[in-house]
Each structure stands twice: as structure tokens, then as C-alpha cells.
Structure 1
Amino acid sequence: MLTTQEQRDAFSNDGAVLIRNCLDETQLAQCYEAFKWNVANPGPYVFRKLDGTKLQTHIDNANPAVKGRYDDLVTTLPLARIFQELWGSEHVWYFAEEIFAKEGGSSGRGPWHQDTANLPWAGPHWGNAWITFQSIPKKNSLEIIRGSHRGIQYDGSTFANPDDPTEPLHRDGTYPRLPHIDKDLAEDPNSWDVMSWPVTPGDVLFLHPRSLHGGAAVDAECPTRHTLVLRFFGDDARFRCLPESNPRYARTGPLFKEEMAKLNEGDLFRSPVFRQLA
């Protein structure tokens, strides 16, 4: 097996685990080439609402122009097999990529959030493989609230208000508003159980997307953070309808809307658009 019992327990109980030296130099280089093409060729879901603010970050999701490249790339990586072991799932499918580019040493931390607030996902067999191409100190790394993947589903963040990272995405009361975790931690460093690790190229952070997580800032000592997130799901992954109040996210979320429209609440998350890897 590629994982230890300790790592499998950590993913199940904590919602995240860092596996060091997961990718070799060739695999990492292939991932970085795909990432750089993504940055140079933004897709229809590129996110620019924070441009010109202290949180400016290049964010893009599920670019259809590069789908075939990533579908092929993930077949050469150990990530699907690792998720298979972390979940205890017989089958694994690849969903899509997400990219983050923080540069110039001046982009603030990304707001705390759960991916499941804006994507129609439920069940234990979901996972993000978080890959960075620079050495990242702990203070600049992704942060996760331990065990939060098993806790409250909060409303999402609009990611559009640099002065209020909890500004709600759906605003209809379906989900409670995000707590202001940064403010809580400033007042009491023990108010939330935060996990993070220093990361070196080749390490991969495996994260359940319902976990509350947020990205620390870049700064003069760590001016660049290029991150590729590859998303996977397994046997016990299900479709969950999102609230109807925000037209962009209503019911299906913004990605693969045509395929998602064919699924109903609680259905197994399946579509031929997603590459099966195991």
C-alpha cells in the first residue's frame, strides 16, 4: 500500500493528511507544465473579483480547454490510488482541477471556506490533492480546521469582500454564516484547532473538501505560491442540491451544469464526463 494506517486514520478523523515525497521530479514537472498553461490560458470560470485588493489571487476551475490533458495526466500519478486507500473505496474518478497563483509577495490569505458550500458534493469519498511548486513555510501554507469535515456545513464566502471574509454566498439562511475564524484566533489562539505543515515540492496535501480551510498570505520571505489542486471522488460520493438563491450556484453549482442537472438529491455522483481511474 502507498499509505500507512496512521495516514488513513488522519484523513478520516482530521480531514487532511500531508504525504511527503508523493510525486517524483518528472511527475511534479508535468503537473507544473499543466499549471502554467492554465495560468496563460484562463478558462470561463476564472475568478478575478479580488483583483486590485489585498487578497488578489489568480484562481481558475475546470478549464474545458485543458480537460483532456488533466484526464491523461492523473492516470500517471499515484493520487487516485492514494485516495482509494484513504477512503477505502473500490473505485475512483477524477473531477477537475483548480489553480491558485499568488505572486509578488503581496497577496493576503484566502478566506476560510468549505468547497461544499459552492459545489454539490456530499459523502466521505471526496478529496483534493493540494500540490505546490515552491517550498512553503508553515506560516504561508494551507490551514485546515481539524475534524471540520464532519461538522457544520456553513454558507460559503463570496470571496469578493476583502473587509469581510464571511460575506455569505447564498444569503438565504439554508446554512449558517461562516464564523470569522481569523478574528477568533486573534482573540484566542486556542479557539480553533488549526492544522498546517511546511510543504516542499513533491509533497502532497490530501484534504476532504468539506473541511474548513484557508490559504495563508505570501510575503517577502515567501513571495510566490503556485498551487494545483486535483479533485477526486469515490464510491460513496453523492450529489447534494445547493440553495436556489444565488443564480450562479443554484442547485448544481457553476461547474459541469449540464451533467449535474441530470442528478437528484442523494444520487450517487456519477457522469461519463468524469474519467474513471480505478
Structure 2
Amino acid sequence: MTDYDNSIHPDRPVEPDEREHLAERRRGPIVMRRRQIQPSTTDQRLLDTRGPADWVHTDPWRVLRIQSEFVEGFGMLAELGPAVSVFGSARLGRHTPEYATAEKLGRALAEAGYAVITGGGPGLMEAANKGASEAGGVSVGLGIELPFEQGINKWVDIGINFRYFFVRKMMFVKYAQGFVGLPGGFGTMDELFEALTLVQTKKVTAFPIVLIGSAYWEGLLDWIRETMVTQGTVSPVDLDLISVTDDVEDAVRIIQQAEDHRPAEEAAVSALAAAERRAQD
């Protein structure tokens, strides 16, 4: 097929004022017409070493960077073993009671046989990584490029820095058997509601969500109960997706109990999927 397709009127010449309307160029699966047609081909732009370098900042090139982040993350974490993602504020430092709780949590999870995955930053993330590392567990930090320098804390054994939040979020869920939320800000809330959405829609199964610090979380849960449930935007049973505790041992126990039920949950999901396939056949 030629670059310019005039097959709409194969038996007559194309008038000059029609040429722009009928012009069409194919680039792989993409069709470009009229003013969207580029004056050069993909090969020309690839081989023209004298061209501008701004192509490395275009969306198609970003796709390769995104792909590389998925590949690096999957390759590094595929053999991690059982793990729990822990979220909490970067702003609550070493002299706060929340830091001590996070450190105790990291230690308890490691002793229970779980790797600890955090955002790799300071504050409560550092504390959870420290507790896990000092207990001899695997301490993972998934960092993110931010306008202000943060870096991976020194207690991380496996650290990965990401450009893209959505790739990082995939790693938090894919390689974890549960989620623990400590007091935190917008980032912690983002991860909390991401996990809730995935569990509510059954994108992940047997994935416990535990919040530590009843005084901190109770206002949010009251709002969900009194506003969202009352107005019908969520169901009352959706609140059962969240466990709230002030006790680190209790948090670990909830995660372990969910792990015990995981084979049954996965079997039920597999059976449902098989039934849906049979119905479609």
C-alpha cells in the first residue's frame, strides 16, 4: 500500500483541493490523515543522526522506560517470598511513638517470616525497614523520583528507585501478602484506597488491610461509615475489608490468618473463573 491512499475514487484523478482531505499515511497500526501526517517516515527519523534529540522525551519513548521499570521490578522481586507492604509518614521521626511502633512492626513481621516492603524513605518507612533488617529479615525499599530529594534509607537491603508512581504501586501489591497502614499523609491514603479498591473489586484476594493507630484512623472510618455508607456510595460490608488495631502482634496475627485462608480463597476464585469460561463456551 502506498503512503497516500486515493482508492476512494480509483477511476478518476484527485482534484487539488481534495488531495489534503484524502491523504493518508500508515505507521504500523496507526493511521494518520490530513494535517496529522508527518513529513518523514519512522525509519528516516531513526537514521537521521542530525535530527533533534527531543525524541527521547516523547510518549512512545516513555513506554520503553515504563517497560524497563516493570522488568527491573519483576526481576528483582519475583523470588522475594512472603512479604507485607508497610506505609506511613515520612515526617514522623525517630523520637515519635509512631516510629517506635513502626520499628516494632518491622521486627515482628520479619520474625514471622515476612519481608517488609516500604517506600524506602525516612520516618516510619525507615523505622519498619530498620526493624526488619535488625531482626534478620529482608528489608525492601521502593523509592520514587520526587521534586525534593528523599533517597533510600540505610536500612533497606533491596532498593529500587522508580520514575513512575503507577509502576511502583504495582510492585507494592503484586509482591505483598498484605498491607499495613501506619499514620501517614496523602501518600499513605493513596495506597490505602488503592488497596481497598483492589480488594473490593476482587482484583486481589485474601489481601488483609490493617491500620495501626485507632486514634489516628477512627475519624476517617467514622466518615466512611456515617457519610459513604449512609449515602450508599459504599456497602456496609466494605468496612469489613479494614482491620484497626493498636497492637503490633494483633496486626501480624491478622495477616497470618489471612495467609492461612489464602488457598481456599484462590481455589474459589479459580472455580468461579472456570465456571464463567464454561458459560461463555
TM-score (norm 1): 0.26
Larger relative helix fraction? 2
Larger Cα Rg: Structure 1 or Structure 2? 2
TM-score (norm 2): 0.26
Larger relative strand fraction? 1
